[in-house]
Amino acid sequence: MKAAWIILLSIFMSGSQIINTKVIAHRGAWKNTNVPENSIAALQHAIALKCYGSEFDVHLSADSVPFVLHDHSIQGIYIEKTNTAELSNIKLSNGEALPTLESYLLAGKNQNQTRLILEIKTSQLGKARSLALTKKCVELVNKVGVASITDYIAFDFDVCLEVKKLAPKAHVQYLNGDKTPEQLGAAGLDGFDYHFSVLQKNESWLADAHQRKLSTNAWTVNDETMMQWLIDRNVEMITTNEPEKLIRLLNK
Ligand code: MG
């Protein structure tokens, strides 16, 4: 009974809904675990930490196989102009093979604690390649059977719209920071994942998005003061290289 009163009192005092900010490990939990970012090991650490989500980046090989990597090239090899046979020989610093999207999704399957936050990278070879990657990603997510635990993010607005067309039930957040919540809602997207500086400049966007039932996410927040600034404004998710720090802050 006492607990119920405390909850009612906190709702009254906050003047709005209470949101428990969720932790998303940016490129997995790699920084404090000494594994490469975007590796399957980093995903497994994010799952072990019970993060709400683990983010990763995807590019398309020359022969149209999606690989998980942040940069456009690795060890001097340009992903978009290289075939799978050659890319499969690349080893990350922990000895792991450069993950294909399929192997990565399989590693994230069979658990429903940590969502797979799939960033579709913008192709440097043109819009058609970005859209081809989008189609491949949605197909693989369905094939592996992880649609119910996968969310999508992208800087290219057309890519976001394409995901919604191919997978209307998928949760899609836009990354580029140049659309208002009203514009995102009108386009049928589910929310934003914006750099924290965009939200500092446009502080009303958080409350505006919540009113429109859009999800809110901020990247890449590694500083405790900034984390707290966002938590105080009811941000729904924070994407961070320091998931352990954010978890500690939220449990204080
Ligand atoms: Mg990313």
- What was the pLDDT predicted at 244? 98
pLDDT tens per residue across span 29-70 = 999 999 999 999 999 999 999 999 999 999 999 999 999 999
Which band of pLDDT confidence, cut at 50, 70 and 90, is reported for residue 143? very high
Which band of pLDDT confidence, cut at 50, 70 and 90, is reported for residue 15? very low
Calpha distance 36→185 (Å, rounded)? 36
Q: How far is the CA of 46 from the centre of ligand 1 (A)?
A: 15
Which letter does DSSP use for residue 176 in this model? S
CA 163 to chain centre: 14
Contact call for residues 13 and 3 (beta carbons, < 8 A): no
Q: How far is the CA of 155 from the centre of ligand 1 (A)?
A: 9
Kindly tell me if the per-residue pLDDT of 251 is higher than 70.
yes
Backbone angles phi, psi at 103, to 5 degrees: -65, -35
- Ordered domains of the chain (ranges, CATH): 18-250 (3.20.20.190)
Q: How far is the CA of 119 from the centre of ligand 1 (A)?
A: 5
Q: How far is the CA of 89 from the centre of ligand 1 (A)?
A: 23
Q: How far is the CA of 4 from the centre of ligand 1 (A)?
A: 40
3-class SS string, 3-72: HHHHHHHHHHHHCCCCCCCEEEECCCCCCCCCCCCCCHHHHHHHHHCCCCEEEEEEEECCCCCEEECCCC
Which band of pLDDT confidence, cut at 50, 70 and 90, is reported for residue 171? very high
**If you average pLDDT over residues 216-245, what whole number do you get?**
98
